[in-house]
Chain A
């Protein structure tokens, strides 16, 4: 076995355990003597609670307690930035997910029966269920203290804003809408909690943000954060849906009332669909102006995000979307306006490509409209306007970090899937039309301005000379812990079997932020490199001591030993482990991600998270075949060329890209989380359609490594999100290229494709 090395495709560290079903997830925890907690969610999207009777529920055999708002000791409000979401609603209900009571019972069946027996009386109130209703004059307010139903209203203005549009040779215009998307992870929201004898609230939970959860739980339940102990085992998927409290506050509340017994909560799929956070539905109106030669001149984008009933990260999602609203292009003048709008729909929050995949649909559709209007090749138009290092992006940020979109586009241009597209198109079988669509996309990494984006990594050598990486950023399946093992193995010269990973534990690891924002491997990984280097030099030093050498020269760290090259004498790691004290065997490393200074004055109305300085870039190509009898779209081939800096593990890199593209194809063609008057209509996977194996093409992923990212560990940057942004616009552009018209409303269902291609005129028109 060779030592682990950066740049090699090594099997994931968790592969064997996961394939064998041994990896413990939070949903798998069944502590002895447990109680089960179940929320009572009346399902009324807007109303006032006028009665809540629990007697019948308490009479159900097996029901132990029924808790209500009055039983919540703290503020009873959760939320990451804005604390506005009740743990248990006390007076008003604002969406169908609102819980009014929490049943503790001896079994899941008793908990369910108890929940059904709680008698809730709710006086319905008026509600707003779409953007127009919420923004109408004198609209009913979701929150009395948020006038106009606006959670946030922000603007980015660069150059002369939208004014230069009047002087452009050509202007194209379009209005786009995007659906709500569900994370649809395998493991639903779940966890166990217990109040320990010493008063600590212990919790093992499926979470992307173990350290921050302490503050959210602590605020809601009035517990000092240092009395909250969170463990975050591997997640069965997160995609942003477990960033922030899901079961945490309910579980904490249950544990406070469980007389020291452990409490378990697992949402079933239906509850997850109702109560889990979702991707924001958006409406986008774009006007893009250019010179006759295709040089982009000005953009006016107006973007509305339906953020649902509570804030969660709604404003931050919108802000990130706005920061990306003009695409990876050089545009001298831009006015980008955003409205983050409350409705009584289920709460929208974080999801992979956080606000960006919505704008990607708009700007990449606009680029094709412009190319068509100018009679230009869509790839040439993109290449001519692509950002390069040293440019200023649409948010006014001077790009000083790696900027690889041009190189990605060049790789697409050379690829047979692009070069041989005309022949392929002409070979369409009867009743099929073929088209090829492109998308150039980007995605910021990190939290952005105003938020500390930092990590503290810990590596330990145990007394037997084996290494433990104390991961502090959850692994939701993306493979960051495997990347950390690979980094540690590389730096310490160790083989995979000498390394173990411990998943986040707030008692033994150190605050390192959430697993999100393309920052997980980047930020913690960089901190880990420092920790590993410190440990390495310490091991050499102690070996030198044991070998009575005059200095540490010519010592090398090898698997299982430190060797002195000139004499070939060595000390085993087990000997070192036995000699060193516990505190000597542990090293920490810290890293703070780069920030933008000075912040340009382009943005107003932004709260936190602006601007970003590191972006990954990607150029995508989709070949689509449309059945003209049914409107069914099949993606037959897919190419994603991605600039993620240096690649740590090619296999895992490609898996991330392929997964992101698959999820993006779902967003483009299938996934549509439908509500009617605030009630969920797609209640489970019978009607919420995600793509299966037969719906996905072979997804060719190419890493474009013209530039490495100097600030990242080994030159890498995060690529977990960027792939999500390409499929919708690439497929929509492919459908238009096939002569089926331009579709501006996602997902591109067969019905919409057939209507659009055969009957209705395109919704986006050309001006001038």
Chain B
């Protein structure tokens, strides 16, 4: 049996970390417990984050939405602040797993897992999310794109904890779009996904476009060239096709049991076309 600990304060948590440096952090456990089932039958303790009030909940401060790292996705999806200021994140979070998974899975867990198929990641990239990281005697803030360093790899240091995700309330983007293609409609790992934030001029031209693709490279692919193909233009199928073509060249998808590289590239190129129908 492995010890399972439930600290309620950061001080208590760091105390455990200091004395049991091999302990694992567990938020919802929806990634960790699956891994442990396959993995070593060790006795490393689990530190559960679910009773850490500071890590749970959503607030705003200085034009920033602050989401506690251990907030379950279902709470994020239902939250009025999130719906108002970052609906893109709510939309992506709603595609994670199924209802039971979303009740357990946390945003912090999705980030720290750093899966190329992590569904909340493309929106977090586009929303310029910054992460609050805390260790026993230090805190720091890192942009999400700098935190995730590869598939399953992050800049999380030993003894460090992700405490909150900060999302600036950006100017409103009239068009917020998230689409995930998986092998079924729920409980599906993304074969590819597209997140888009688009602001149009009153004349219907693109003032600003942010596009990010998930599951088609080691990390989220934000393609500035594709964005440039849209800027200043209308969202016609030609311009969207051009943006898709630029993205197709920028991504480096893998071949696996779910889909081939070629199909993933097709999706990358095709998915922006849907933006034309959305306006």
Contacts and interface: CB of A to CB of B under 8 A. Distances in A.
Contacts of B183: 670, 689, 749-750
A676 B183 CA distance: 21
Given A430-B277, A629-B274, A674-B257, A691 B181 contact: no
Interface string A660-677: 000000000010001000
Contacts of A692: 98, 184-187
Nearest to B269: A629
A689 B258 CA distance: 10
A687 B184 contact: no
A109, A629, A686: most-surrounded residue (chain B CB, <10 A): A629
Nearest to B34: A686
A17 interface: no
Contacts of A629: 267, 270-271, 273-274
A111 to B, nearest CB: 13
B184 A630 contact: no
A695 B273 contact: no
A681 B255 CA distance: 14
Contacts of B41: 109
B258 A687 contact: yes
Nearest to A112: B41
A361 to B, nearest CB: 20
Interface in A723-755: 749-751, 754-755
Give the most central of B186, B258, B270: most A CB within 10 Å.
B270
Interface string A623-638: 0000001111010000
B263 A751 contact: yes
Given A687-B257, A751-B259, A431 B274 contact: yes
Interface residues on A, range: 20 to 34
B181 A694 contact: no
B64 to A, nearest CB: 34
A683 to B, nearest CB: 10
A682 interface: yes
A634 B191 CA distance: 17
Contacts of B187: 692
Contacts of B186: 692-695
A751 B273 contact: no
Nearest to B264: A751
Interface string B229-269: 00000000000000000000000000001111001001100
B95 to A, nearest CB: 11
B257 A681 contact: yes
A754 B268 CA distance: 13
Given A109-B41, A694-B185, A695-B184, A630 B270 contact: yes
B184 A670 contact: yes
A586 B256 CA distance: 61
B136 to A, nearest CB: 35
Contact of A754 (B185, B188, B263, B271): B263
B257 A682 contact: yes
Considering residues B258, B266, B271, B273, which has the most beta carbons from chain A within 10 angstroms of its beta carbon?
A: B266
Contacts of A754: 263, 266
Contacts of B184: 670, 689, 691-692, 694-695
A693 B181 CA distance: 17
Nearest to A113: B41
Interface string A416-434: 0000000000000011000
A632 B271 CA distance: 12
Contacts of B181: 630, 632, 750
B134 to A, nearest CB: 33
Interface string A591-635: 000000000000000000000000000000000000001111010
A755 B188 CA distance: 21
A629 B267 CA distance: 7
Contacts of A750: 181, 183, 191, 263
A430 B189 CA distance: 25
A431 B257 contact: no
Interface in A684-739: 686-687, 689, 691-695
Interface string B66-78: 0000000000000
Nearest to B273: A629
Nearest to A672: B257
A759 to B, nearest CB: 9
Contacts of A687: 257-258
A726 B41 CA distance: 46
A687 B191 CA distance: 12
B173 to A, nearest CB: 21
A694 B94 CA distance: 14
Which of A109, A634, A751, A754 gathers the greatest number of chain B CB atoms within 10 Å? A751
A182 to B, nearest CB: 14
B135 to A, nearest CB: 34
Given A634-B185, A750-B183, 14 more contacts: A109-B41, A629-B267, A629-B273, A630-B271, A691-B184, A692-B98, A692-B185, A693-B186, A694-B184, A694-B186, A749-B183, A750-B181, A751-B260, A751-B263
17 contacts: A109-B41, A431-B273, A629-B267, A629-B270, A631-B263, A634-B185, A670-B183, A670-B184, A682-B257, A686-B189, A687-B257, A694-B185, A694-B186, A695-B184, A695-B186, A750-B191, A751-B260
A-B residue pairs, 10 tightest by C-beta: A694-B185, A629-B270, A751-B263, A430-B277, A630-B181, A689-B183, A694-B186, A695-B184, A687-B257, A695-B185
